[in-house]
Chains A and B, each alone.
Chain A
Amino acid sequence: MFSFFLSSGLFLGWSLGANDASNVFGTAVGSKMIRFKTAAIYCSLFVILGAVISGAGASHTLGKLGAVNALAGAFLVAFSAALSVYLMTLARFPVSTSQAIVGAIIGWNLFSGSVTDINALTKIVSTWIICPLLSACFAICLYKTTTFVISRFTIRMFRLDLITRYSLLLAGIFGSYALGANNIANVMGVFVPVAPFNHITLLGITFSPAQQLFFLGGVAIAVGVFTYSKRVMMTVGTGIFPLTPVAATVVVWSHSAVLFVFSSQALEAWLQGHGLPTIPLVPVSSSQAIVGAVIGIGLLKGGRGIRWRTVAGITSSWVTTPVIAALACFIFLFFLQNVFQQKTYNPVEFNITQSAMNRLIESELPHTPFEPLMWETYPNGREFSKAIHSAADLTNEQARAILAIAELYEVEFSADLLWELRKGPFTKEQLEILNQLEGRTFQHKWEITSALAEQSDIFKYRPADKQWNSHLDDFFNQLMSQIHR
């Protein structure tokens, strides 16, 4: 059943490969600098590597927007996104898979009554705008540097062309890696919480369920590259090439750098280590990064040749694509749930229990207005959110924290459960600490994490260590999904 439900994600991956591979290798293949077969092999290989090695970063942000918790729901989210992309492409709109998947997740949130995290949404939407702008800035800086080097060192024509050719190949490889790392979240992100995989160790390397999913998504992208991208590459190649080979290379490098910046956890850790502001890891549109870079070079040349209609198209797609995807997702979910009797989401209930109230007090969050709401169970996040907002004026941060505290997750750490957890992806040390919770019952997720933190330092969050905390979040998510299973 899982493979059937995964098919929509694979379809989305296929369409991504068919369309977006042209952004990285279109110039080289379209201008016959690199043979299609060579480009397809490099592209596929590095997309898969990027997805498996660095795909987790952008996937986290997407997960925060809405954790699709049922397989049929995940199937429809990916399917709605894929269908929106297909329809928008038919209508010749510049479409982005990233924007479609975000719309579809919001559609699922609306249908399931889950609360859409406004902070995560704002972060994602702002990157849509920043992405082409940043790409334009990169292109301008890189172009200036390149022209300076060429004129300063009077590089001969044959040498320059040779460098350009290799540079374009390298940019394509880097771009493929970045595309895999950044966009795999669009293809497989919604399946991560519901994937029934266990950790696999091959040649001493352990692959998490998410990495296995990302590998499958990467393969789907590769199939898209091999089967359908040639035609698109030919169109893109001839479309961008009038820029001159050097400028085209700069465009591909800028695009790749932008995608990398929005997906690299290593870069995020480095920035954080140096006390610099971090860049949100969000899936962005590869096509819009390309157009941004082309516009950047156009501006540098005095604004000639900028297609303002394309710019307007991109701006409008920031709104139209998610709206269409959200609507499509909502309608499909309604049919699947009511006509085909499939479970499209697992209801998540909320209750301000005594322990939740104590936690609110400890966390110095508003609590007095919520006393009348105590012990009342709310069927979903939206109802609960409405109730707490009518009881008190809350900021987004406060509301999010209260939702997390009141979310019900009733579990007893029985001997049977602990036995089952042994099959999970946990280390011996982690299992020993989990065993110490035997016989205890919990009502909320945070109770489990707090109990574990009391048992050992390895389960304690570290202030200002984003990477460690994100690693810990991964562990807790795995634990919760294993318990749930």
Chain B
Amino acid sequence: MKILRTRTGIEKQVENFLDQVSLSGLIFRQGCEYYLSGKEEDFERKIQEIADCEHKGDDLRRSINEHLYAKTLIPESRGDVMELLENLDSLLDRFKGTLWRFRIEYPEICDEFHYDFKQLINAAIEANEAIVESCRAFFTDISKVSSYLHKVSYWESESDKISIRLQESIFSKKDLRLSHRMQQRDFARSLDKIADRAEDIADRLNIYVIKRNL
């Protein structure tokens, strides 16, 4: 029965891709922390790292797609897997995009908001980790998917709460220009959208699980 458990080439590729998605989250967190603490050199390094990570992810996804079309998987599952990987790739893009936004706009984040921003980043990363683990389970042991999916929902709702609290704080601070308030609010929203995206993927994943459910 060992043959039933051995991994095929495509499985390794999928695992590598999931590693890249998880890694992009970790790089993103570090990058944000360096930005908030004003370590510009380290921040630049993370920008480069996340670009490499995204590039690797794209290459892997293309290769997996080719493999899927060539010979593996039942066509219906193939469509689901490709959609799932595409959605995960968009999450990876979002990490990269948000970090680049910091790099382009250099927003001035008020010190009293740093804590909430860090909390928001943490919720996004946790949601990302949970969705990556759910996907891993989808490919290896489908019965365990649900035990990760609820974590995605939890971190998404945490992210919503922090985001609202943060936006309220931003707009209740008196001595800020409107443009400054709006810029900080946009960054809070942008971070919140990462967890939202993770939850959307979780919803889709749940449907794939039901479809494959025996």
Contacts and interface: CB of A to CB of B under 8 A. Distances in A.
Contacts of A155: 4-5
Contact of B76 (A153, A158, A241): A241
Contacts of B75: 31-33
Contacts of B77: 157, 161, 245
Interface in B25-58: none
B74 A164 contact: yes
Interface in B171-214: 211-214
Nearest to A143: B214
Interface string A23-34: 000000001110
A244 B73 contact: no
A301 to B, nearest CB: 10
B5 A153 contact: yes
Contacts of B6: 159
B76 A156 contact: no
B10 interface: yes
B1 A158 contact: no
Interface in A106-161: 146-147, 150-151, 153-159, 161
A156 B142 CA distance: 8
Nearest to B141: A154
Given A153-B5, A245-B77, A158 B214 contact: no
A162 B76 contact: no
A156 B138 contact: no
Contact of A156 (B1, B140, B211): B140
Contacts of B214: 146-147, 150, 244, 246-247
A156 B6 CA distance: 9
A161 B11 contact: no
A162 B143 CA distance: 19
B209 to A, nearest CB: 11
B4 A159 contact: yes
B147 interface: no
A159 B73 contact: no
Interface string B67-90: 000001111110001000000000
B4 A153 contact: yes
Interface residues of A, number: 24
A31 B76 CA distance: 7
Contacts of A154: 5, 140-141
Given A165-B74, A244-B213, A157 B139 contact: yes
Interface string A445-456: 000000000000
Given A32-B75, A244-B212, A244-B213, A158 B10 contact: yes
B26 to A, nearest CB: 26
A94 B212 CA distance: 29
Contacts of B72: 158, 161-162
Nearest to B144: A154
Nearest to B6: A159
Contacts of B211: 244
Nearest to A248: B74
B74 A33 contact: yes
Nearest to A245: B74
Contacts of A159: 4-6, 8, 11
Contacts of A161: 72-74, 77
A153 B1 contact: yes
Which has the most chain B C-beta neighbours within 10 Å: A153, A157, A245? A157
Contacts of A146: 214
B212 A151 contact: no
Interface in A157-174: 157-159, 161-165
A151 B75 CA distance: 23
A165 B141 CA distance: 19
A158 B8 contact: yes
A164 B212 CA distance: 12
B74 A158 contact: no
A31 B73 CA distance: 11
B190 to A, nearest CB: 33
A156 B7 contact: yes
Q: Which of B7, B73, B139 has most chain A Cβ within 10 Å?
A: B73
Contacts of A156: 5, 7, 11, 139-141
A210 B214 CA distance: 45
Contacts of A32: 75
Interface centre among A32, A155, A158, A244 (most CB of B within 10 A): A158
A158 B76 CA distance: 13
B143 A151 contact: yes
A155 B1 CA distance: 10
Contacts of B8: 158-159, 162
Contacts of A244: 211-214
Interface string B104-116: 0000000000000
Nearest to B80: A157
B76 A157 contact: no
Q: Which of B11, B138, B140, B214 has the most A CB atoms < 10 Å from its CB?
A: B214
A153 B141 CA distance: 10
A47 to B, nearest CB: 25
A154 B138 CA distance: 11
A158 B10 CA distance: 8
A237 to B, nearest CB: 11
A245 B11 contact: no
Contacts of A153: 1, 4-5
Interface of B: 1, 4-8, 10-11, 14, 72-77, 81, 138-143, 211-214
24 contacts: A31-B74, A31-B75, A33-B75, A146-B214, A151-B143, A153-B1, A154-B5, A156-B7, A156-B140, A157-B77, A157-B139, A157-B142, A158-B10, A158-B11, A159-B4, A159-B6, A159-B11, A161-B77, A162-B72, A162-B73, A244-B211, A244-B213, A245-B74, A245-B76
Interface of A: 31-33, 146-147, 150-151, 153-159, 161-165, 241, 244-247
Given A158-B139, A161-B74, A244-B211, 20 more contacts: A31-B75, A31-B76, A32-B75, A33-B74, A146-B214, A153-B4, A154-B140, A154-B141, A155-B4, A156-B7, A156-B139, A156-B141, A157-B140, A158-B10, A159-B4, A159-B11, A162-B8, A241-B76, A244-B214, A247-B214
